Amino acid sequence: MKNIKEILELANHFLDQLETKNGYKLFIRSDCSPYARCFVIFTKSLLKDNLWLDSRKTRLISDLNDDLYDFYNIQLGKTIDIKFDKPFLQLFCFTLSALNILNGSLSKKNLKILEFFLNLKVEELMIARSVNLGLPGSGNYSMFLAVLNIYAQEKLDEDRSLEIKKWLKFNLNSVNDNGFWGNFPKINHLQFQNGYHQYEIFEYLAFHKAPWNQAAKSTLTLADQIGHFSPYPGGGGCYDFDAIFLLTSDFVDDIGQNMILNKSLGTIISEQNKDGGFCESKLLRNHNNWPRLLSLVSHIHSQPSHLKLSSLRIGLNLFRFKHKTVSTHWTSIDRKWNESNAWDTFFRLSAIFRIYSYLGLPEKELFKVNHFPGIG
């Protein structure tokens, strides 16, 4: 296994290449993006690069606020209701997390936007977004609402205790037998990847009543033969972190996860790209961007019997020409599946830290946790 200090130094060097005079890029070829700025800040903080953060603190705080307000006005001109606008709410919560790292505050203009959301009823919003039904993206939305309310409670000294209690009660009362949300008799990737977001809040609030062990046991069954947790070969920074987060929480008992966690640790470390960054998947397509059929076959073989057919469908669908790259709302340029980027680099390194910490290994001291609800 590679030396962890060398891994972190290479990753930090990759992040340095994403900084330009006009902002921050998600990956080397991409345009600048306010999301990318947040991911770089998250990862710099995780790697304890305090000198980098301190030397840019004033401008970063200003740019974070300016970009959030500008994006809010852009999104107001679109057809989607701002109350349910994932790109905006995602950037809002990422910005709050980045500001926490920098010990910065929301601008007056952005505080007014926050007050708009705080005047809404949390329970009504979650019903409207079908959080209790576990629809795709509903877990993200539930987490966004919690983050905004916790921020107001802790940073602005506003009493949001009633809304936070309503949030906890609503989410707890709609959990299914797998420990997540939705009308599913058995676990699937959607449930844990969607439902992980509520568990981020549960952990931050030290909410013991959540079915931690059941959620972790369900998630553990989805590990493939090399310790990835996505419905396609090679993991995916988000899928793998979400699963590892659940398996390494202090609220989860020993359910036999150590072997898988050690396997995941070795696999993730081995998949660092030569430029120091991490990617979505190195096993879905080769360096020439051709589908890796044997990887898909091996992946399907490792899946629970009730998911083999759906994994085949997902894999074959991603092999189509239209999915040769990864498209997101973070950049206007798509990235390759095996291309290093700030998002996957942050989640891969976060997963490594969670495993080190859970296993009680001294390498955990090389990282720093941002104590803030949600992602970042």
**pLDDT tens for each residue of the chain, 376 residues long:** 679 999 999 999 999 999 999 999 999 999 999 999 999 999 999 999 999 999 999 999 999 999 999 999 999 989 899 999 999 999 999 999 999 999 999 999 999 999 999 999 999 999 999 999 999 999 999 999 999 999 999 999 999 999 999 999 999 999 999 999 999 999 999 999 999 999 999 999 999 999 999 999 999 999 999 999 999 999 899 999 999 999 999 999 999 999 999 999 999 999 999 999 999 999 998 887 888 889 998 999 989 999 999 999 998 999 999 999 999 999 999 999 999 999 999 999 999 999 999 999 999 999 999 999 999 8
The pLDDT value given to residue 289: 82
Terminal alpha carbon distance of the chain: 27
**Residues 223, 240: Cα–Cα separation, whole Å:** 9
CATH fold of 4-366, please?
Glycosyltransferase (1.50.10)
User: What residues does each domain of the chain span?
Assistant: 4-366
Here the tokens at position 368 are: 């720093």
Q: Specify burial of residue 153 (Cβ count, 10 A radius: 0-12, 13-18, 19+).
A: middle
Closest CA to 284 of 324, 333, 334: 324
- Which positions ≥6 away from 9 have C-beta within 8 Å? 276
The pLDDT value given to residue 100: 98
**Residues 100, 362: Cα–Cα separation, whole Å:** 26
Residue for token pair 């006005």: 73
Alpha helices in the chain (DSSP H): 4-16, 34-46, 50-76, 86-102, 108-118, 122-128, 138-155, 161-173, 189-204, 212-220, 237-247, 258-270, 293-302, 308-318, 342-358
Backbone angles phi, psi at 368, to 5 degrees: -130, 130
**With contact defined as beta carbons under 8 Å apart, do 96 and 372 qualify?**
yes
For residues 172, 376, 216, 11, the Cα torsion angle rounded to the nearest 10 degrees is: 170
